[in-house]
Amino acid sequence: MNGYYFITDSTLSRAGNINDVSRAVACGVEVVQYRNKNAESRKIYEEAVRLRKICSDVLFLINDRIDIALVTKADGVHLGQTDIPCLVARKILGSRKIIGITVHNLAEAKEAETSGADYLGVSPIFQTNTKLDAGKPAGIALIEEIREQVSIPLIAIGGINHSNATEVIRAGADGLCAISCVVAKENVDEEIKKFQKLFKEHIKGN
């Protein structure tokens, strides 16, 4: 799992989740996470069914909702520290589904890896207005610290933009997500491509 990781945000989106995800898939993103904190379950279910079809050839993950992931045959879920524990989610989902866990420090990262997480969301790296309860920015030092002691992929998130993404990648993140500076812009695909270019340049530079 690496490169630009796409997360939906219908409150910031200009053209809606269906349009944004179609564009992200056309850009060649490897992962799409459907995150919807505001809608009722019926709406989330119906949108997830549509998004699953658009994401037939990319990894399709659902934020928080194990039930929606199961019923839409998503590839997995993304869970936070206050969601269903990773070990319990694994029991429900089985060994073949992907489970991503948000972590804020090294202890949470080690615990998530031991509990069978497939990748970690390292959060928040910088200050963000997109998730108001994200906590105190950890800086890229947290990516470096976790990178040294944990071997599963690290996806950095929180306040990442085109100016600070290079230091995030250099710190050891396998992937990154930047919601507001992609989804709130008119040309979602152009913004995604800029991040994808940074990853390509990093690979070449190494």
| SS3 of residue 51 by DSSP | helix
CA atoms of 28 and 176, how far apart (whole Å): 15
Q: Does 64 bind Mg ion (CB under 5 A)?
A: yes
Within 174-203, the residues that bind ligand TZP by CB under 6 A are: 178-180
Size of interface with ligand TZP, in residues (CB under 6 A): 13
Within 150-169, the residues that bind ligand TZP by CB under 6 A are: 157-160
94: nearest Cα among 119, 74, 80, 110: 74
From 5-13, 77-85, 122-130, 161-169, give the range in contact with Mg ion by CB under 5 A: 77-85
From residue 85, alpha-carbon distances to 21, 70, 118, 148 in Å are: 28, 16, 14, 24
Q: Does 123 bind ligand TZP (CB under 6 A)?
A: yes
Extract the tokens encoding 11. 């409150």
In angstroms, give the least distance from the CB of 116 to ligand TZP.
21
What residues contact residue 134 under an 8 Å CB cut-off, 6+ apart?
A: 123, 124, 128, 158
In angstroms, give the least distance from the CB of 83 to Mg ion.
4
Residue with structure tokens 């690290």?
A: 154
Greatest alpha-carbon span in the chain: 47
Nearer to ligand TZP, 161 or 205 (CB): 161
- The correct pick among 33, 36, 52, 80 for binding Mg ion (CB under 5 A) is 80
Question: Residue numbers of the site for ligand TZP (CB under 6 A)?
Answer: 123-124, 128, 130-131, 134, 157-160, 178-180
Which residue ranges make up the site for Mg ion (CB under 5 A)? Answer: 64, 80, 83
